[in-house]
Amino acid sequence: MKSLLLSRFLVLLPWVLLGRPSGERLLSCGSGRNSSQPPPEPEELLPIIYAITPTYSRPVQKAELTRLANTFRQVARLHWILVEDSAGVTELVSRFAAGLNRGGGPPCTHLHVLTPRRYKRPGQPRATEQRNAGLAWIRQRYQHAKGPPTPPTPGVLFFADDDNTYSLELFQEMRTTRKVSVWPVGLVGGRRYERPVVEKGKVVGWYTGWRAGRPFAIDMAGFAVSLQVILSNPKAVFRRHGSQPGMQESDFLRQITTMEELEPKASNCTKVLVWHTRTEKVNLANEPKYHTDSVRIEV
């Protein structure tokens, strides 16, 4: 009798195991999230990131904006401020921005301001008017009738040029900025990278290939500023008069912070999370040599 019961049990055992719900099998393998890890912070509670991107008309403009948009799509709570260097909005960038807003983000504000012709000579700082237009838009957004402007939630401002390449990890790093945070930038200044030099958690100098004596020897892609600092310093802008090429970062940062206050990110400024890649100049030598296409295609 016992042998009969045992044989029936052995026959039924595989069917019992196979008949378990799939969820139970997954849990038994330990593939679920570790219960000791804290749940992710709700997206609506994350500090917002404002990314100001100057842009101008050129053959690779749409390609570079598309690449940057595909990065920004993956960043939670990011608002893109796209500022054209033009007297009015262009059709290309207008369609691009509208497509972003229709296609699920990132949220995009499209502005324009023209750089005066006298400032387009070689050796002049670039994108000054466009970055200032982005700063003015942010300040106006939070302006109140009485008292100092105060954002409803924490936030951070970042100057994101459209010819750079960004790691998603960079946005996680900058989101915790209390005042001004800094990190290395790759492929800049004639070197493989430039970075703030950090000792005991404090920035004490600069590893750079160009004008190391600058007050803040850092690339535009190498820092972020808290939203509250931007709003508390309404006169802090990028200046044309008295500012030399390569000094715009220093001229801006010394209006709002000191080197002692800088917050090193990216493992104490030992990891490169943004690269000044620049797209190769395209060869369009054959454009005028052949007949014009009967279809107008936007590139």
| Residue 249 annotated among the catalytic residues of the structure | yes
Cis link prior to 106 (omega < 30° from 0)? Answer: yes
CB 184, CB 174: distance < 8 Å: no
Whether residue 142 is annotated as binding a ligand: the answer is no
> Looking at this protein, which amino acid is placed at residue 94?
S
Q: How far apart are CA 218 and CA 199, in angstroms?
A: 17
Whether residue 56 is annotated as binding a ligand: the answer is yes
294 to 60, 69, 88, 174, 287: CA distances (angstroms): 22, 30, 28, 48, 14
Nearest to 172 by CA among 276, 266, 251, 245: 266
CB 55, CB 162: distance < 8 Å: yes
Whether residue 165 is annotated as binding a ligand: the answer is no
Whether residue 163 is annotated as binding a ligand: the answer is yes
Whether residue 54 is annotated as binding a ligand: the answer is yes
Q: Which position among 129, 249, 280, 298 bears the catalytic label?
A: 249
Whether residue 162 is annotated as binding a ligand: the answer is yes
Whether residue 161 is annotated as binding a ligand: the answer is yes
Q: How far apart are CA 77 and CA 69, in angstroms?
A: 14
Whether residue 278 is annotated as binding a ligand: the answer is yes
Which residues are annotated binding-site positions for UDP-alpha-D-glucuronate? Answer: 54-56, 85, 126, 131, 161-163, 276-278
Which residues are annotated binding-site positions? Answer: 54-56, 85, 126, 131, 161-163, 276-278
Which residues are annotated binding-site positions for Mn(2+)? Answer: 163
Just list the catalytic residues: 249
